[in-house]
Each structure stands twice: as C-alpha cells, then as structure tokens.
Structure 1
Amino acid sequence: MPADAHEPRSTEIEAPAPQSSKSRSWPRRRSLSIALVAVRWLLITAVVASAIWYFVRMWDDVQQALLQMQPWRVIASFAVLLVGLALNVLSWTTILRGLGHPVPVVRGAQIMLVGQLGKYIPGSVWAYLAQMELGRQYGVARARVLVTSLYAAGIGVVCSLILGALALPQISVEHPQLLWLFVLLPIGLVCLHPAVMTWMANLALRVFRRPPLDHRVELRTIARAVLLCLASYATYGVHLWLLSDAGVPFTTVLLMAAAIGVGFTAGLLAFVLPSGVGVREAVLIGLLGTVMPVAEASAVSLVSRGMFTAGDLLMAGAAALAAAVMHRRLHAQDVRTTEYSDVAGS
C-alpha cells in the first residue's frame, strides 16, 4: 500500500489563477464599443430625421413656386444640381486621400454625404460629429475626417470668394455688409499652402493621439480639390439659371455661381441656423435681383433651397445604398487601411 494512502485528502479547492489585466478589461472595452456604436447610430438617425423634417416643412412653399416654372427646366436644374453635389464629394474625397487615407469614392461619399445632413440641426458641429463617427466606424481616424471637413469648408470659402470677386460691384451695392468676408480670402489662401496644411493636419492628429502624416500634402492634391470645388459652384450657377425665366441671358451664370458661393459662405458663418437658412436666401435674392425681378429671385431662391435639401437626402441615400451593395469589397478595403484595430472584426 502506498505510504500516502491513509493521508487525509485536502478539501480545499484550488484558487483559480488571477485573470490578466487584458482579460479583465475586455468586457469593459466591449461594453464601451457597443455604447459608442449605439450613440453613433442614434446621431445618424437624428441627423437624417432632421433633414427629412426640414424638407417636409418647406414643401408647400416650394410647390407653389415650382408651379410657376417650366417643368423641363426644373428637371434639368435638379439634374445639374446632383452633378454639382457629386463634384463636391470628389473634392472632399481628394482631400481625405491627400491626408493619408486611401478611401474608395463610395465610402468617402457615404461618410461625407450622410454626415453632412447634420447641418440641418441647428449648430454646424453636428455635421462634423456625424462625419467623424461615420469615418471612425469604417476605420478612418476621427481627426483625419475632421481636418478633411474643415479644409473642404475652407476651400469652399476660398472658391466662393474667388467667384464673388466677379460680383463685387453688385455685392457692394446690394450687400455692402458682406464685403468684410473678402478679408478671409488671403487667410484662406495661406492655409491652403501645402506646408501650412500639413502642419495643421499633424497638429489635429496629435491632439487626437493619432500618428502624424508620413508625407507632405501635395500641391496637386490641393489644386485638384480647388478645381473640383470651382466646378461644383459653376454647376450650381447653371442650376440657378435653369430655374430662372427663359429671358435671363446665360451670361449671368457666373454671377449666379458667385451669388450662391457667397451665400454659402455667409450661411456657413451663421452656424446656429440649420444649413444657414435665411442668410443664404437673403444673399441670393439680393444678387439675383440685379438681373431679374425680386419676386422671381425669391421664387428661384426658395426652389433652390428645396432642391438642395432633396439632393442632399437623395445623394446620401444613394451613397448608403451603394455602400451596402458593395459591402464586402468596401469592408476588405476598410480592414486594409484601418486606423483602429476593432474594425477588422466588425
């Protein structure tokens, strides 16, 4: 018989080995991730609902103005507007790629277009937050999306003021209070210099604790974004001309492009208003009133506002649908370029 056969067996249960800090923190990180996703989708839902509500609320007034216009010109105007919105998406995506994230156009359109619906909530910050959270969901650093959106807005201001210079005589008469906006033009041009743009982007990335750019933003990237933005404003000018009476000469397109550009800039500064409502219309009516009756300018401005809202919703929906159809391919690209480890398993 073995020597230890009569020794009492221990009744103590062996204590489990202490869990590593990594395994203890996993449920906490998982809960935080779920909470962030829930907040992200609540934000997106609120943004889309606000844009839809805004459009429904103004539809009766827009419908009355539409009845006074030629149907073919209205349809053509909306089609041209969609082209302008698409050019704006390409400008935004060009900047994001130049800042070091090779996002596909469809994914960039989804982030930019769905996120920008936040402008229909009073306070422009909601658009930036929605874009940042959408970018984060697909592996793009929040700081990179924020810098992209800020630079896209800056390029929009610069381009609007370049075009606005063509309408300085009309602006000085109709809206002399807007002349101070042109002080922003040299400041904006300096900020678009590749060295300044790279420095500011790295500063934002550092604040968000993301790695700095491994390259300097190229001049051709900035030039392409600016040209696309100018082309976008030009199509908006055609969009306004098509809404006007057939007797308005096509040579006024540049004035209309300048009017809508300066109107956008003035509305951007009125950030407490949803999408700069009222401010943009005042600028448009004042400048369009130099080439058409004020009543007609008011109708054109009102219909244009409704079309922009409908276009924003349609383009955002199309981008989201295209991203859903191309989900597998886009997700594979998200995983290859992600700046967050949890995107690969999402």
Structure 2
Amino acid sequence: MTEDATGAASQPATADLSPGAGSSRVTWRARLISWGRRLVVLVIVGYAVYQLVGQWHQVSNTLSQLPWPRLVLSSAAVVAGVLLSPLVWQAMLDDLGSHVRVRDASKIYLVGQLGKYVPGSVMAFLLQMELARSFGVSRVRSFIASILTAGVVVIASLLAGALALPALVRNEPAVLWLFTLLPIGLVLLHPRPLTFVVDRLLSVLHREPLSRRLSGQAISRATGVSLLVYVFYGLHLYVLAGSLRATRDMHGGLLLLLCVGAMGLAMTAGLVAFILPSGIGARELIVVVVLSAVLPFGQALALAAVSRLSFTVVELAAAGTAALVARPSTSARGEP
C-alpha cells in the first residue's frame, strides 16, 4: 500500500521484478557499490588512525591538558544542541499540518537520526518515516518534513560556517566551494520558492501538492533553532580549545566565533559526504583545518577526535532516552 500527501492509502504500483539478466546486473551493481562504500570508509578510518599515530605525542599531550570539568561542560553543550534539534523537524511537520508533542518528535527525530550511521543510504529518513507512522503521521508527510529539515539545517550550518571563512581562506581554500550552496539556500528560505520545490517533489512522488503555502514563521523558527544548535556545538568546541595553552592569549570571543564556524561547516561537510557513516572523516577534516589556524595540527586533530566521541555518545544516549520516554498515543493514530 502507498499513501497520498494526506496519508490516505492507495493501491501500490507494480513492476516486473522477475529474475533475469537485468536483475542480476542490478544485484552485481548494488554489491559493487556497497563494497565500494565500505572500502571508502575503511580508507578514511585507516588514514585517520595513521594521522593519530603519527601525531600521537602531540595528541596525547593535548588530551592530558583537558580537565574533566571542561569535558563535562563540553558534553553538556552537545546535549543541549542535540536535544534542540528535533524542534526543527517538529516545526516543519507542524507547518505541513501534522502536530506531535515535543517528546514524540524527539523520539522520531533522534532515533531516526541513528540511521545516518549507516553509510550511503537514506536510512535516517526511512526510520523517521516509520517512527512517525506509529504516531499517526503519514510517511509522505514525515518524509517531506525530514527533507525540509535537512535543507534548513544545511543553510543554517553554512551561515554559521561563514564565521570560519578567514581560517579557511588561509588554510584550505579548496573547501570554500561548499559556500556555493548558500545563495541557493537563502532563496529557498522564502516560502514561495520553497513551496514550489516541495510541490514538484510531491509531483514526482505522484502525490497531491500542499494544500497551502509553507509559512515564513515556521521557516524562520526552524532556521533560528538550527542556528542556536550550532551555537551550542561551537560552544562545545570552544570549551575544549579554550583549555589549551596555545589559545590562552587569543580573545575569547574570537575563539568562540571560530569554533561556531568550524562546527557549522563541519556539519555541512558531513551532510554532503552522505556516503560516509555520520560524515566520519569529512567533519573531522573541517574541524582540523579551521582549528589549525590557532592550534598546532596535532592538537586540532585531538580535539576533532574528542568531539567525534562526544557526539557519538550523546546521540546514542539521547536516542535511547527518547525511545524510552515517548510512547505512541491512541489519539495520534487517528490522523489520516
């Protein structure tokens, strides 16, 4: 069974999927792509390990300089950002005509986000669709909300990442191409073009267009929350970097802006490198490149590794907690 834009069921489209030469070619192609993705991940992880081993003296010295209160405060900033992120998805879903409670949105979004740890797939979107369905939200509507959320998050991350432009121009101008997405994204933050794009997507999916235009209030709220999330992520990195002797002579406000920019652009790179589980390698590369403007390479590498570990632990813990707290309500199941 399939659903229209309002969640109504319709008969599924069928296709000839009988085995044959064509299906064999598809199977072999899928296997090659799958193994290719695994190889890419192994190469990136192997290179990261090589860098850590080569810089181990500086990395270990950096880790020894991080006092545990700073680590706790840094992790708390990650927790704040992660827990705010479902509000972006909830805002977009609400504007599409479906409302779920904050704790239910947290379960759908945070548990679904674990799918990003699967390389090269849309597993996060698929998980969110199925979880949303258990709360009475149609798969199509939750899918559109996830697409809108991803778009808003990318634009907000690029806006935050602009704070790191001076460091990028100096250290790695090659990654500045990411900002070519920003003008397009800013245009799409207007309700009219964004609604047009969503309607075209629904048309491709053979669904009815939206019953009304997306609201500027919902888009602004989602963008504002996303920017606040990146402020917390930047604060997380700032707390770590600020504990090192190399940054003690640097103005605290400038270091905070640099860290917010680093985390914003790092998240953009992680989303663009979707074939990598949770953007592993791409995120760390940006953090190292930006922080290398004020820190030795080995210290920047150590902070990138600590940041990755912190995010992984917090995201797993947040998803587990949200799954335990939220329960599908009988009233939500009644939505068409």
Query: Same-fold call, TM > 0.5?
Result: yes
Question: Does the 8 A contact of 1:159 with 1:230 survive in 2?
Answer: yes
Question: Does the 8 A contact of 1:198 with 1:216 survive in 2?
Answer: yes
Structure 2 length as normaliser, TM-score?
0.76
**CA displacement at 1:222 relative to structure 2:** 0.5
**CA displacement at 1:206 relative to structure 2:** 4.5
**Alignment partners' CA distance in 2, 1:67 and 1:151:** 42
**Alignment partners' CA distance in 2, 1:198 and 1:317:** 34
Corresponding residue number in structure 1 for 2:69: 72
Structure 1 length as normaliser, TM-score?
0.74
Question: Does the 8 A contact of 2:163 with 2:260 survive in 1?
Answer: no
Corresponding residue number in structure 1 for 2:141: 144
Structure 2 runs not aligned, ≥5 long: 1-10, 12-47, 53-58
Corresponding residue number in structure 2 for 1:224: 221
Corresponding residue number in structure 2 for 1:154: 151
**Alignment partners' CA distance in 2, 1:333 and 1:254:** 45
Question: Does the 8 A contact of 2:288 with 2:300 survive in 1?
Answer: yes
**Alignment partners' CA distance in 2, 1:103 and 1:205:** 22
| 1:299-320, Cα deviation, whole Å (9 max, x unpaired) | 1110110111111111111111
Corresponding residue number in structure 1 for 2:26: none
Percent of aligned pairs with the same amino acid: 42
Corresponding residue number in structure 2 for 1:172: 169
Aligned partner of 1:274 among 272, 277, 287:
277
Is 1:335 paired with 2:327?
no
Aligned partner of 1:89 among 86, 90, 105:
86
Question: Does the 8 A contact of 2:159 with 2:264 survive in 1?
Answer: no
Is 1:118 paired with 2:120?
no
**Alignment partners' CA distance in 2, 1:201 and 1:140:** 18
C-alpha RMSD of matched pairs (Å): 2.5
Is 1:321 paired with 2:324?
yes
Change (3 A) 1:133 1:66: farther
**Alignment partners' CA distance in 2, 1:305 and 1:141:** 34
Aligned partner of 1:250 among 240, 247, 252:
252
Corresponding residue number in structure 2 for 1:37: none
**Alignment partners' CA distance in 2, 1:245 and 1:190:** 36
**CA displacement at 1:290 relative to structure 2:** 1.1
Change (3 A) 1:285 1:244: same
Give 1 or 2 for the bigger CA radius of gyration. Answer: 1
